[in-house]
Structure 1
Amino acid sequence: MIVTALKDIIGTERDVSGPGWQSRRLLLASDRMGFSMTDTIIRLGMTLELEYKHHLEACYCIEGSGEIKKAGSNEWHPLEPFSLYALNQNDRHEVRAIDNDMRLICVFNPALSGQEQHRPDGSYAPPDP
């Protein structure tokens, strides 16, 4: 059984950030669950362009508001508390926070190791076998 609290992760190696975002890694590959889960904040006014070529991702908004669109599209979809988006085709996408910071609970499959860094194209490297 794994029991953890966000307060136990903040300020540790599982609390990572980059330009416009902060991700608290609640579950990682080392937890052997087959997926990972993060508590992620996208900062107000930031637009992130991402493409997880080697991971499927689903995000559930729990605070704030934002928008998401598939890269190359002009159609923004609203995100607000209790809405979900799933990148079921490794979709290149843009996501942005509007009005205030947006907080998401994100699930990745395969699981993240916790050491990933966004590459210039917005993706993570393939997971180690």
Structure 2
Amino acid sequence: MFIRKLQDIIQSNNVVKDPNGSWESRRLILAKDNMGFSLHDTIIYAHKSMTLHYKNHLEAVYCIEGKGSVTELNSGKVNQISKGVLYALDKHDKHILAACDNMRIICIFNPALHGNEVHDNEGSYPLAEIEH
């Protein structure tokens, strides 16, 4: 068992910021924890949007603060996101995530991220080799 506090994560090197200034991810559980997934407490900054396509990962997202939308690019359907709403990218769905105001989301990735990943030019995270 291990215990982690968000405040400790915020003061560590487990905070990753988008080079384009759209988000900040506080990475609570990573691949090195051997849980089979990673868990992130992420802030999407107000009035920011990004096109994402997680080709190598499945993601579940649960909103705990703020408002925004996720647009499914294959259908054009726009889904409103607010506190208490979850969406799951179970088919590596290409999408646009947009925040109306600062939106705080809890993200789970499978397979787990290693820690310092940022999105590539296609809006994806690389599939990292498993460390031994």
TM-score range, shorter chain: over 0.9
Question: Counterpart of 2:119 in 1: which secondary structure?
Answer: coil
Letter in structure 1 aligned against 2:7 = K
Letter in structure 2 aligned against 1:31 = D
Cα separation, 2, equivalents of 1:110 and 1:126: 8
What residue in structure 1 maps to residue 125 of structure 2?
Answer: 124
Q: Percent identity?
A: 45
What residue in structure 2 maps to residue 112 of structure 1?
Answer: 113
The counterpart of 2:70, out of the listed 68, 71, 75, is 68
Cα separation, 2, equivalents of 1:29 and 1:15: 15
Question: Counterpart of 2:4 in 1: which secondary structure?
Answer: coil
Cα separation, 2, equivalents of 1:27 and 1:106: 11
Contact 2:63 2:86 in 1 (8 A): yes
Contact 1:69 1:94 in 2 (8 A): yes
What residue in structure 1 maps to residue 99 of structure 2?
Answer: 97
Cα separation, 2, equivalents of 1:61 and 1:104: 4
- Unaligned ranges ≥5, structure 1: none
Can you list the C-alpha shifts for 1:67-110, whole angstroms capped at 9, x where unaligned? 00112443210001010000000111101111x20000000000
* TM-score, normalised relative to structure 1: 0.95
What residue in structure 2 maps to residue 22 of structure 1?
Answer: 24
Give the stretch that moved more between structures: 64-73 or 25-34. Answer: 64-73
Give the stretch that moved more between structures: 83-92 or 69-78. Answer: 69-78
Cα separation, 2, equivalents of 1:109 and 1:74: 25
Question: Counterpart of 1:30 in 2: which secondary structure?
Answer: helix
Count of residues in Structure 1 that have an aligned counterpart in Structure 2? 128
Contact 2:38 2:112 in 1 (8 A): yes
